[in-house]
Every structure is written in C-alpha cells, then in structure tokens.
Amino acid sequence: MRFWFFAAGLCSLFFQTVACAEAPSDPLMWLGKISTASQRLNYVGTFTYQSGKQIETSRIAHRANGDGEFERLEVLDGSPREVIRSAGEVRCVLPDQRTVIIDQPGGRRVFPARLPASFKGLAESYVIRKGARGRVAGYEAQSIVLEPKDNMRYGHVLWAELKTGLLLKSRMVDARGDMIEQFTFSDLRIGGEVDSALLKPRFSQGEGWRVVSVRGDEISKADSGWQLRSPIPGFTLNSVVRRSLGADRGDAVHMVFGDGLAAISVFIEPVGPETATSVGASSSGAINVFRRTLGTHVVTALGEVPARAVQRLAEGIESVSR
C-alpha cells in the first residue's frame, strides 16, 4: 500500500478574474492572471517536460463551463499513462499495471496549472519581478521571475500568454540559475470548444483491473496527532488528510506544507517490513525525498524543493502529547 500513497504524492507532485486583453504592469497581477487562466479557459495542446536527461511529452485537453472543470492528460512517451480530472474526482490510469488510482480533485495541479488559488504569501519568500517578453508555441508571452530569498526553495521563471495569462512555459532553477526542470507547450490552441471525445478515457478498464482509492478524510490540524516542531520560514500547513492503509495496517496521515508555490508532502504511517532499508535521502527527477523512522512510525517528506528542506521538515515532525 505504501507505493500507492507515494504515487499519489508524486502525482500530486506530477485565481481572481481572467484579465482583459490589456496586460497588467504589476507582477503580482500577472500571477493572478496565470492562476485564473489555467482553470477558467478552454485549451488543447501538447507540452514537453524536461528534467536532466529525461524528456517526456504529454497531450492535454481542458474544458471549463458551468458544470466545473474537466481535463484529460495523456503521457505520450514510455509507459502509457493518463489522468482524467473532473469536478468530483481524479483518476490516474496505469494500463501496464491494469490499475486505476482514484483521488479527490483538490491538491497540487499539473502544468499549466502550476499556481494555486492562494499565492498571497509569495512575496515573503520570493523577490518577484517582470522579465523579458518572448514567444512560446507561437504566442507572445510575458515572463515573471521569482527569486527565492533563502535556500529552502528553488527559483522559478513563468512565461504567460500576453492576452489570457495562460502559462505557456515554466522553468525551475537552482541557486546558480541552472535548470532543474521545465514544462513548455510546443503546440497549443486557447479558447473555442473542446470536443467531449478529447476528454474521454482512452484506456477502458475491464475484468482484472485493480481500482485503488487514496481518498482520505480531511481532519483538523489539531486532531492529526502530529506537528512540526520548528516551522520552515514561508511554509505553512495547508491541509491534513487521514487515509486507511487497509486491514491490520492502521492509518496514514498526509500533511501538505506550502509557500504559495512550492509544496512539501509529509506521509506518516506505521512502520512496515520494508522500512529498515528505505530510510534516508533519495530523489526522483526534480523531487527530493527524505524518510526517517519515529518510534513505531515512518515519516516521509517529498517535494520539488532542495534536499535540505525535505530533510528539515521530516526531522521536525513530532507526535503531539495528548
């Protein structure tokens, strides 16, 4: 069961009104346009993801109307995968494993929805400024630069379509300015109708498929039983979810800390037979992971942040005395 919660964390890891055609001058207003556009616009396109030597191409179709948001993302390289998002749930389909992972629609979104609804605290952790204009996928774009004020987060450069604010390109950089990962549209249509056929699952699930639900129960921070001893500047606890691990395994607690752009997920679950060989630091692409044991539990922190940040957060988690 640990795999599915970790996969959910990675999936997890993998809004103001849409502004008028006149481009704003304030970089914070640009962030508002970017945040809103990804949710309220119709768009269909192909984008690439690059991290180190890994390059992956995906196709996305997104429709927004009075019934909510509907989205289908299909990874075109390697093992086939698709993510179907609706107002009620998110379904991650893994055909090679004949498995469907079901989760609630909240939480971290995929490109181009890289900005959350609330980003008011970003100025506390980043220096935000307008960059140069350019062209991405045939569209005029304005770049917005976010430079971290400490070593607990990475820098970001966002390129937004000049009229709508839709995010066309997103680059994460380290302290030297070197690219850690990048998303960029190579082909894109903004606006117009999105055919329902583009939103339907490509892979049909029949006999022999496994459906794994990682939905959980939202609980209050006070009722989680865990706390962060020394907060990381800029990061606040956004949500706490309790999920059942199945018969005789107990529950896992999933805590999400964020600074308005970067997010760190923390999973706290009972020690399993594989724990002894899996503690310590590791990474998966741009995602750093740190795992430690704490009494009868294992704490796993992961996120697209520097390794020191996930380690500090994992080591700062402690049980709350009742």
Q: Which phi and psi (to 5°) does residue 267 adopt?
A: -110, 130
For residue range 234-278, what is the model confidence (pLDDT) as tens digits?
999 999 999 888 777 788 999 999 998 999 999 999 987 766 567
Q: Are 48 and 56 in contact (CB under 8 A)?
A: yes
Residue 22: predicted pLDDT: 53
Residue 287 pLDDT greater than 90, yes or no: yes
Q: Considering the entire predicted model, what is its pTM? A: 0.86
Q: Are 289 and 308 in contact (CB under 8 A)?
A: no
Percent of the chain with pLDDT over 90: 65
Domains and CATH numbers, the chain: 2-199 (2.50.20.10), 216-319 (3.30.200.100)
Q: Give 278 or 60, the one with higher predicted confidence.
A: 60
Highest mean pLDDT (candidates 12-16, 48-52, 85-89): 48-52
For residue range 89-106, what is the model confidence (pLDDT) as tens digits?
899 999 999 999 998 776
| Least confident among 33-42, 64-73, 239-248, 311-320 | 239-248
Q: What is the mean pLDDT of residues 166-179?
A: 96
Q: Are 134 and 161 in contact (CB under 8 A)?
A: no
CB atoms within 10 A of CB 255: 23
Strand order in the sheet with 287-294: 217-218, 236-244, 251-258, 263-270, 297-303, 287-294, 280-284
